[in-house]
Amino acid sequence: MTLVEHAVQAMTPLMWAPDRWWALFGHFLALSLMSIGGAITLVPDMHRRLVTDGGLLSDTDFTASIALAQAAPGPNVLFVALMGWYSGGLGGALGSMLGIMLPSTTLTLVVSRWVATRRAWLSVQAFQAGMVPVTIGLLLATGYLLAPPVQTQPSALALSVVVVLLVWRTRISLIWLVAGGGLMGGLGLI
C-alpha cells in the first residue's frame, strides 16, 4: 500500500472526539514554545507522546504524515495537521495546528520586534549564537528517529555519511542528492 492510499484509508474527517481534540491541542501547545528550528525538530517528542505513550497513531501513520507533508508544497509544519487528522479527524487537525501555531507565532512576532531594535546588544547576539547548536542537536535527534534503516543497514549508514559530507563540503544542489537517494532506493541498493 502506498503512502497516499494509506492516508486516504486512515481519514476519518467527521470523527467526534472532543477529548482527543483537547489532548492534541494541549500536547502541541506545550511543544510549540520548544520548536526552535521549526516543528520538525520536535518529532522525537511527538513520536513518544502520540505513538509510544498515547497510542493515538501507529508508527505507519506517524511516518506517513511526515512523508506526505514534506512531499507536498507549502510549510513544513503541515505534518502536524496530518498527525491531528490521523488521530482525531478534522477536529484533531484543527486542534493540533492551533496548538503548534498560537504560542510560537505570538512569541515570534513579539520577540522579533523587540530584537529588531536591539541587534547590537551583546546578550542578543550571544543568544542567537547559542541557538545554533541547540537547533542542530534537535535536527540530529529527528533524523535519528526517522531513519531506522540507517541504524541497522551499513549501506544506508554509508549513504548518510556521504550525503552529509557532500552537503558540508560541496555546493551540489540538494535536489540532486534527493534524486540520487531515490534512484538508489528504487534500484534496491539501499
Would you list the DSSP string of 30-43? HHHTT-TT-GGGGH
Full DSSP string of 90-118: HHHHHHHHHHHHHHHHHHHHHHHHHHHT-
Q: What is the pLDDT of residue 87?
A: 86
What number is the average pLDDT over the span 85-105?
91
What number is the average pLDDT over the span 133-156?
79
pLDDT tens track for 112-122? 899 989 989 99
Higher local confidence (pLDDT), 156 or 125:
125
Residue 96 has pLDDT above 80, yes or no: yes
Residue 62, all three cell numbers: 506517524
Q: What is the pLDDT of residue 12?
A: 57
Q: What is the pLDDT of residue 14?
A: 62
What number is the average pLDDT over the span 19-26?
90
Q: pLDDT class for 13, splitting at 50, 70, 90?
A: low
Residue 6 has pLDDT above 50, yes or no: no
What number is the average pLDDT over the span 60-67?
84
What does pTM read for this prediction? 0.62
Q: pLDDT class for 58, splitting at 50, 70, 90?
A: confident
Helix, coil or strand: residue 24: helix
Give the whole-angstrom CA distance, residue 87 versus residue 35.
21
**Do residues 68 and 85 make contact, with C-beta atoms less than 8 angstroms apart?**
no
pLDDT tens track for 28-48? 998 888 877 678 888 888 999
**Do residues 159 and 184 make contact, with C-beta atoms less than 8 angstroms apart?**
yes
pLDDT tens track for 146-155? 776 666 778 7
What number is the average pLDDT over the span 134-145?
83
Q: What is the pLDDT of residue 118?
A: 92
Residue spans per domain, the chain: 3-124
What number is the average pLDDT over the span 48-56?
88
